[in-house]
Amino acid sequence: MTITSTDIVLQVEGLHVTYGNFKAVDNVSFHVRAGEIFGLLGPNGAGKTSTLSCVEGLLQAQAGSITVAGYDVKLQPLHARANLGVQLQTTNFQPELTVAEILQLFAGIHGVPLTRERLQEILVSIKLEDAAHKRYGQLSGGQQQRVSLVIAMVHNPRLVLLDEPTTGLDPQSRRQLWERMEGLRDNNHGILLTTHSMEEAEAVCDRIGIIDHGRIIAIDSPQVLIDNHRNDPAVISVSRKGKITLEDVFIGLTGTTVRS
């Protein structure tokens, strides 16, 4: 099947998530196209994780719909997840297993045959060819992130969710990960990225959605967001260097109060 760059790989429509009386996600709608990196930005507690959890099928929304590659996550969860590659924030593989064993596990549960040659190719692609028999717990943070990303991609999913993937990485590893993300985009994968780094969002995202108090308050390309809010007094008041940046726009729109 030919995938065109306008294919929508994730469609979120009118999503509502509540915890008791608290509205964590309030009528959120956005989409991610194939060949696009979409950044979902927001302060702590803004609703990013709840939105992502709904996309992953780990949380049931009270209202709204989500489709991944055309499959409804509620009605066809296995089909939706088969089209989804996920890199979660924290270390989440058995530390006793080696890199090769983890790759075999995830290839197996996605029904992807993994020959010794293919395994070696994958390891070479992430510069871990000598680490096949190293236990996951023995890898550095950067190496773990590379393994985590390659596992998210082992079944060639149409949509990749990256949840703060560069947190704790050194600048070299971070740049390398950006290049990998751009490589995925060039191969027509859709990427949904969450990050607290405005530099990262500005560097790699084609479009950005800013979420606060459970609502999407702005959605556009980084440059258009900057241009549209250049003269906003709230944005100008938080600008530090006389030049408006994405971070200024973000803080101008979401406020300066530190969230818990």
Partner 1 sequence: MNNTVIPSNKAVLSALLRADFTTQWRNRRSVVLILFIPVIILISWKGLVDKLGGPFVLSNCITIGLNAVGLMGYSNAVARDRDKGIFQRLRVAPLTAWSIMLSRLAVQLAMILLVTTGVFVAGYYADGIQLTPGGYIAGFAMAFVGGAVYLGLGQAIVGLIKNPETVNAVTRLVYFVFIMVGMFAEQGALPATVTKIVKWSPYGTVEHILSAGMQAGAWTQHSTIELLVTIGYALIFSAIGIRWFKWTTK
Q: Which stretch binds partner 1 (CB under 8 A): 39-47, 96-104, 166-174, 203-211?
A: 96-104
Q: Which of residues 72-91 bind partner 1 (CB under 8 A)?
A: 78-79, 81-84, 86, 88, 90-91
**Residues ≥6 apart with Cβ < 8 Å to 109:** none
Site string for partner 1, 149-188 (x = CB under 8 A): ---------x------------------------------
Contact flag: residue 56 with partner 1 (CB under 8 A): yes
Residue type, 115: T
**Residues ≥6 apart with Cβ < 8 Å to 121:** none
- 116-125 and 99-109 helices, crossing angle to 10°: 110
Which burial class, exposed, middle or buried, applies to 28 when counting CB atoms under 10 A from its CB (0-12, 13-18, 19+)? buried
Phi/psi for 245 (5° steps) reads -115, 175
Contact present, 105 and 97 (Cβ < 8 Å): yes
Q: Which stretch binds partner 1 (CB under 8 A): 24-32, 66-74, 116-124, 198-206?
A: 66-74
User: Judged by CB, which is closer to partner 1: 92, or 223?
Assistant: 92
Name which position in 5, 58, 183, 228 contacts partner 1 (CB under 8 A). 58
**Where along the sequence are the contacts to partner 1 (CB under 8 A)?**
1, 56-58, 69-71, 78-79, 81-84, 86, 88, 90-97, 101-102, 104-111, 158
